[in-house]
Structure 1
Amino acid sequence: MNITLEYLRDRYSEEQARFDHFENKCEKFLTFVSVLIGGVTAVAGISKGIIFHPSSPVGWIVLCAFLMASISIACAWGHSLLALRIGDCPVLPRSRAAAEYLSVVDIGTQSEYIYNCYVDTLEKVSRAIDVKSKNLELAYQELSIGAWGLTVVAFLTICMEISK
């Protein structure tokens, strides 16, 4: 049982490190998307908001691409917030009652109790990481859509300015 408990202790440490890794990644991603939203807002105001007053079919394409990119980036921001959402970070029982229980039971019961604590907590941590991972993946996909939309906007805007 000692080998099993050591194995579970190592897996628990790895999952906690993985949880922290996702938290850090979410934090950085949220910061990046927040800065990007500021940049997109600034771009929208360039040339007195000409992007919002289309006068040609290309202008309408630019407006639609800009709106699609803006919505995608806003969704990426929301999903990164959901991924970063501070909720219950599953941890092993650390209450006084648990410690007192372990002090009064025999070694076999202690090992079984600790084993169950590790297994239950590992399952909870894994589920929490999966939720963060899913939201972060959605945020990356939405950011990619936004990037493509902004690329179309930039390309068409440059082409329109050159053709004037």
Structure 2
Amino acid sequence: MKTTLEYLKDRYSEEQSRFDHFENKCAKLLTFASVVIGAITAIAGINKGVVFHPESPVGWIILIAFLVGSFSISCAWGHSLLALRIGECPVLPRSRVAAEYITAVDIDTQSAYLYNCYIGTLEQLAEVIDEKSKNLELAYQELAISAWGLAVAASLTIYMEITK
């Protein structure tokens, strides 16, 4: 049982590190998406919002690409926020009652109790991390869509300015 508890302790540490890794990625992606949204807002206002008043078929393509990019980055921001919000990090029992129980029982009962604590906490932690992972994956996909949409809009806008 000692080997099993050591294994579970190592797994718990790894899962805690994995949780922190996802939290950091979420925070960075949320910050990046916020900056991009601010930049998009500023760009949309340039030249009295000319992007919102298409006068040609290319202008309509620019508008659609811009809107797709803007919508996608907003979705990425939302999914990043959801990934951060999902819940608290499950931890092992840390109450006085738990500590007193462990000291009051025999070694086999202690081991069984700790085993159950680790297993239960690891299962909860894995669920939380999996939810974070799903939302983070969606955010990255939406970020890629946004990059393509905004790149098309920017490229066509530059092309239109050059050919004027």
Bin of the TM-score, shorter chain as denominator length: over 0.9
Q: Which residue of 2 aligns with 1:16?
A: 16
Q: What residue is the counterpart of 1:92 in the other structure?
A: 92
Report the AA paired with residue 28 of structure 2: K
Aligned length: 164
- Whether contact under 8 Å (2:86, 2:128) holds in the other structure is no
Q: Residue 127 of structure 1 corresponds to which residue in structure 2?
A: 127
Looking at structure 2, the residues matched to 116 and 149 of structure 1 have their Cα atoms a distance apart, in angstroms, of 50
What is the TM-score with the length of structure 1 in the denominator? 0.97
Distance 1:15 1:156 in 2: 46
One-letter amino acid matched to 1:125: L
Aligned residue in 2 for 1:117: 117
Tell me which residue corresponds to 1:147: 147
Tell me the residue number matched to 1:161: 161
1:35 is displaced (CA, Å) by 0.4
The alpha-carbon deviation at position 161 of structure 1 amounts to 1.0
Partner in structure 1 of residue 7 of structure 2:
7
**Structure 1 letter corresponding to 2:23:** E
Unaligned runs of 5+ in 1: none
Deviant stretches of 4+, over 6 Å: none
Q: Distance in 2 between matches of 1:20 and 1:142?
A: 23
Deviations 1:89-134 (A, max 9, x none): 1000111121121122111011000001001111111111111111
CA distance in 1, matches of 2:86, 2:128: 11
CA distance in 1, matches of 2:104, 2:116: 17
Residue number in structure 1 paired with 2:102: 102
Q: TM-score, normalised by structure 2?
A: 0.97
Identity of aligned residues (%): 73
**Partners of 2:56 and 2:100 in 1: CA distance:** 76
CA RMSD of aligned residues (A): 0.9
Tell me what 1:67 maps to. Answer: 67
Partner of 2:27: 27
Residue pair 2:86, 2:131 contacting (<8 A) in 1 also: no
2:76 is the counterpart of 1:76: yes
